Amino acid sequence: MPKEIQKELEEVVGEQSPKTIVNYSNMLTRLRKALIETTPIKDISPNVLIKTIKEMDIPATSKQSMNNVCIVIFKYHKLPVDKFIKLRDELAEKSFDESKSKDTELLAKGITLKKLTAFMNEAYTNKEWVKFVVNYLLLTFQTRNEDLDLTITTNAKATDGQHNWIILKKTTCTYIRNNYKTVDTYGPKIVDIRNKKLVEALHHILDDKASEWLLKTGDSHIIHTELNRAVANQTYDKIGSTKYFKILSTSKKNIEKMSDNRGTDPSTIVHSYNLNKKINLKKKKSDLVADEE
């Protein structure tokens, strides 16, 4: 993306989180490639932008994200957004249809909590330590991908209030989440864990080092753009963390506990993730944008 466009985007998003800026930047880059021009978005006709977005061969949720970037930019420059708002409503309908179609396909696969648990235990038996840890955290705490971008350490003093950590002791560990999607609403999450298999797996990953990343790109810290794929590759049939959460939301009854674990409103879990739930689109539009990682 041209530097001037990147600069404009950073000015528009202001104090948004780094993750939001990255997501907006990715969407704008894809839109820019489809436009095949370098004119600033604010100077392009809404009709041209909307036509381009509609004609792209991508999921409706991605089109929603691109459209949202246009809304943010146009609002910042005090330009009319009524046409983008209309498109947003159209895409919400299509996104809902796509989501329900995917949910039907997922149900048809017959993947249950029992199967996911067996997959996790098989990883332990095969000494696939990273896979076991990822699945343990997904199934136990219903985490998102970002929650799994963490450092394992034996030195509690090395931790900070910005990143995610697992402080590993001899027979226990403490899982600290400072960086996850809804931390501004629910605050940091800290939990002590006494699971022998998890502690053993963490010790193997650490391998006598003072600290180690759970997920890496080569020998380095995981690149943010590779996080989703890295987590999905560790899951059953590579279905990813969001589908795990949908299966858990359908299988488990303790929604309040899941809400606390993940940092998600209980009504959102019921109306947006339960695979058997019939959603009233007009009443629940605010819940339809699942937090895909």
pLDDT tens for each residue of 208-220: 999 999 999 999 9
pLDDT at 137: 98
pLDDT in tens, 157-201: 999 999 999 999 999 999 999 999 999 899 999 999 999 999 999
Does the pLDDT value for residue 293 go beyond 60? no
Read off the pLDDT of each residue in 229-255 and give the average, rounded to a whole number.
Answer: 92
Q: Do 66 and 31 contact (CB within 8 A), yes or no? A: yes
Dihedral angle of Cα 215, 265, 161, 21, to the nearest 10 degrees: 70
Does the pLDDT value for residue 34 go beyond 50? yes
Q: Which one has a higher pLDDT value, 291 or 263?
A: 263
Distance CA 23, CA 39 (A): 20
Read off the pLDDT of each residue in 33-59 and give the average, rounded to a whole number.
Answer: 91
- pLDDT cut 70: percent of the chain above it: 88
pLDDT at 264: 92
pLDDT at 122: 98
Please spell the DSSP secondary structure of 130-196, one letter per residue: HHHHHHHHHHHH---TGGG-EEEES-GGG--SSSEEEEE-SS-EEEEE-SSTTHHHH--EEEEE--H
Distance CA 191, CA 77 (A): 44
Q: Taking Cα atoms as reference points, which of 292, 243, 244, 248 lies closest to residue 270?
A: 248
Q: What pTM value is reported for the model?
A: 0.80
Identity at 147, one-letter amino acid code: D
pLDDT at 254: 85
Neighbours of 60 (CB within 10 A): 18
Q: Do 166 and 153 contact (CB within 8 A), yes or no? A: yes
Instruction: Give the rounded distance of the alpha carbon of 197 from its chain centre.
Output: 26
Identity at 169, one-letter amino acid code: K
The residues, ordered by sequence, that sit 6+ positions from 127 with a Cβ below 8 Å of its Cβ are 204
The residues, ordered by sequence, that sit 6+ positions from 70 with a Cβ below 8 Å of its Cβ are 31, 41, 46, 49, 53, 81, 84
Read off the pLDDT of each residue in 268-275 and give the average, rounded to a whole number.
Answer: 85
pLDDT in tens, 248-265: 998 767 899 999 999 999
At 15, is the pLDDT very low, low, confident or very high (cuts 50, 70, 90)?
Answer: low
